[in-house]
């Protein structure tokens, strides 16, 4: 939907900039722009400031690679964390989900992506060497691979698993199975198959 009307330049620039957000096409971008300008100019100003602020103040934690304002993030700097466990996740959002389970007290490494050869994302782009160095700090005993259970996440886990095992680290992967609280009828067949293969004696 190209605009056949001569749009004022700042409006066009705003719509273009909004399209750089993931999942936002030209229609949504236009709707967002109109909304902000018509109903929420203070929201536009707030977002403008937040973006500039985040872009200038945030950097990657030198230990776990997640976003932080300081050299080392709050999780890595926490002495109560078990430094013998290193959990590898794709994104900070995944890290949040694991954290919210209250089941894990170790440390993390955030890949900020997953292997995706078709998009040109390989071991170099994800800085696997840096991750391996992190894992070989002498304290880590076990690396827990918590990448997604998608094709790309599985490939990433497989690749990393080889890498760590070669270096004598023990490696584990999150368990696959039927999700808590779910009815078998509504679980997909692939999950049921995995749950059967990995069944546990009680």
130 binds a second copy (CB under 8 A): no
Among 83, 112, 128, 174, binds a second copy (CB under 8 A): 112
Question: Positive or negative CA dihedral for 27, 28, 33, 35?
Answer: positive
62 binds a second copy (CB under 8 A): no
What is d(CA 47, CA 29) in angstroms, rounded to the nearest whole number? 15
Q: Lay out the site mask for a second copy across 42-61 (x = CB under 8 A, - = otherwise).
A: -xxxxxxxxxxxxx-xx---
Given the complex with a second copy, which of 70 and 170 has the nearer CB atom?
70
Closest contact distance (angstroms) between CB of 47 and a second copy is: 4
Among 62, 83, 113, 132, binds a second copy (CB under 8 A): 113
124 binds a second copy (CB under 8 A): no
162 binds a second copy (CB under 8 A): no
Q: Lay out the site mask for a second copy across 89-108 (x = CB under 8 A, - = otherwise).
A: --xxx-xxx-xx-x------
DSSP-assigned states of every residue in the chain:
----S---HHHHHHHHHHTTSTT--HHHHHHHHHHHHHH-HHHHHHHHHHHHHHHHH-EE-TTT--EESSSS-HHHH-TTSEEEEEEEESSHHHHHHHHHTT---EEEEE-SS--BGGGTB-TTTTTHHHHHHHHTSSS--EEEE---SSHHHHHHHHHHHHHHHHTT-EEEEPPP-PPTT--GGGS-HHHHHHHHHT----
Given the complex with a second copy, which of 113 and 195 has the nearer CB atom?
113
71 binds a second copy (CB under 8 A): no
41 binds a second copy (CB under 8 A): yes
180 binds a second copy (CB under 8 A): no
38 binds a second copy (CB under 8 A): yes
Distances (CA, A) of 150 to 116, 161, 176, 197: 11, 16, 12, 18
Among 18, 76, 107, 143, binds a second copy (CB under 8 A): 18
The binding site for a second copy (CB under 8 A) comprises: 1-11, 13-14, 16-18, 20-23, 27-28, 30-38, 40-41, 43-55, 57-58, 67-69, 73-75, 91-93, 95-97, 99-100, 102, 112-113
């Amino acid at each position: 939907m190209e605009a056949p009307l001569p749009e004022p330049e700042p409006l066009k620039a705003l719509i273009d900039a909004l399209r750089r957000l993931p999942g936002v096409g030209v229609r949504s971008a236009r709707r967002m722009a109109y909304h902000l300008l018509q109903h929420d100019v203070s929201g536009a100003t707030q977002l403008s400031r937040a973006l500039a602020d985040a872009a200038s103040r945030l950097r990657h934690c030198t230990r776990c690679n997640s976003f932080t304002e300081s050299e080392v993030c709050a999780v890595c700097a926490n002495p109560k964390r078990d430094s013998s466990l290193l959990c590898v996740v794709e994104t900070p959002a995944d890290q949040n989900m694991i954290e919210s389970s209250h089941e894990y007290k170790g440390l993390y490494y955030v890949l900020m992506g997953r292997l995706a050869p078709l998009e040109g994302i390989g071991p170099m782009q994800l800085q696997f060497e840096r991750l391996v160095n992190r894992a070989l700090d002498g304290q880590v005993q076990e690396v827990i691979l918590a990448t997604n259970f998608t094709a790309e996440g599985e490939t990433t886990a497989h690749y990393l698993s080889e890498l760590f095992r070669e270096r004598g680290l023990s490696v584990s992967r999150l368990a696959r199975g039927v999700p808590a609280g779910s009815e078998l009828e509504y679980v997909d067949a692939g999950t049921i198959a995995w749950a059967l293969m990995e069944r546990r004696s009680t």
